[in-house]
Structure 1
Amino acid sequence: MPELDFAQSIGIVAFLIGATAFLHQDGNKFRLHLTFFQIVLCSHFILMGAITAAIGCGISALRSYASTKTQSGYVMGLFIALLWIMGLPNLQYSYELLTIFGASVATYGLFKTDGLTLRFLILFNSFCWLTNNLLLGSIGGTMMEATFIVVNLYTITNLIKQARET
């Protein structure tokens, strides 16, 4: 069992911030909430020494914010390229590749989709990060991704119900 130190405490703070992100049904509010959450989570991963995860979170924070301003395929491609160019050289463990792949899928989702498609792509990303966080021993990260999965599934269910009613 990982020890609850300062780095883990920051991860738990990130969890508390991120736990409500998936309750937003509005895509832009969702993206802005993710931006703030990812900044805090990035600091958690830096403190844990998980550089690939920290790079992924830092780029993802910038990407989430940028996706509120543009849906440009060029900008999307730039963020995906940054994830791979900066992430691959810093891999310490093979499972960290999941963070790069998941963040790439989420980047596509944030720039090119909305509604249910966006939620499903983010759900896939959450499963990638859940695996990474379990193997890394990140308490807050594991709690966060597990919660994201449950809350995102709840929101997906509500969006499906709303679509059937209209």
Structure 2
Amino acid sequence: MDNYTLSQILVSIAIVFDLLSFQFKTRKHVVLCLFIAGVLIATHFYLLNAFTAAVVMTIASIRYLTSYFSSRPGVRNLFLIINGVTLFVTYESFISLVAFVGSCLQTIGAFSKDDREMRLIMMVGTVVWLSHNVLVLSPMAVVMEVLFLLSNIVAYLRFYNKSPIVTKSEY
């Protein structure tokens, strides 16, 4: 099997983990799925010789794995500093700044102790990444972010929109 085919298989599996991630209620299960998806996406980029993207996704994977074990503000701040250094080293245009903001939001979300807060911050971060992917003209990345956002919205509504259902006898 060639690298391209393998990369497409890996990113397809990653999308499944992305979609599943927010269907779990427990924050640790969410970030574990995001870690697995990140490793698969990073490997996908590596196989395509997209080394910068592979490094950024590797950092994100390490961030998710770290947030699985700790939600301490100091650890979160370390990853925010790493994001800042990455922006400084790789800055090319406004698009780099959009990626930086998206990554910072995902970092803050990943280290949120409350799963409800995590979901809301991740949704905002996903919208920023969606904007980034539109700006860089990457249709598959746009599809991935839209699916990720929809999955998060569905799960959020499932877990937190507990409005009472009116039955026929209550009219």
Shift of the alpha carbon at 1:6? 5.0
TM-score (normalizing by structure 1)? 0.81
AA partner of residue 49 (structure 1)? A
Share of identical aligned residues, percent?
19
Q: 1:7 to 1:142 in 2, by over 3 A?
A: farther
Q: How does 1:100-139 map to 2 (within 5 A)?
A: 100-139=100-139
Aligned length, in residue pairs: 159
Contact 1:12–1:140 under 8 Å retained in 2: no
C-alpha distance after superposition, 1:105-131 (max 9, x if no partner): 221222133222111100011111112
Shift of the alpha carbon at 1:161? 2.3
Cα distance in 2 between the residues matched to 1:11 and 1:137? 18
Q: Does 1:49 align with 2:50?
A: yes
Alignment correspondent of 1:83: 83
Q: Which has the higher contact order (CA 8 A, sep 6+)?
A: 1
Task: After superposing the two structures, state which structure 1 stretch, 5-14 or 32-41, moved more.
Answer: 5-14
What secondary structure does 1:154 align onto? helix
Contact 1:63–1:107 under 8 Å retained in 2: yes
AA partner of residue 129 (structure 1)? W
C-alpha distance after superposition, 1:70-117 (max 9, x if no partner): 121111111111111023311334213222211212212221332221
Shift of the alpha carbon at 1:50? 7.0
Q: 1:155 to 1:116 in 2, by over 3 A?
A: same
Q: 1:131 to 1:84 in 2, by over 3 A?
A: same
Contact 2:90–2:96 under 8 Å retained in 1: no
Greater helix proportion: 1
TM-score (normalizing by structure 2)? 0.79
Task: After superposing the two structures, state which structure 1 stretch, 70-79 or 96-105, moved more.
Answer: 96-105
AA partner of residue 129 (structure 2)? W
Task: After superposing the two structures, state which structure 1 stretch, 134-143 or 63-72, moved more.
Answer: 134-143
Contact 2:7–2:43 under 8 Å retained in 1: no
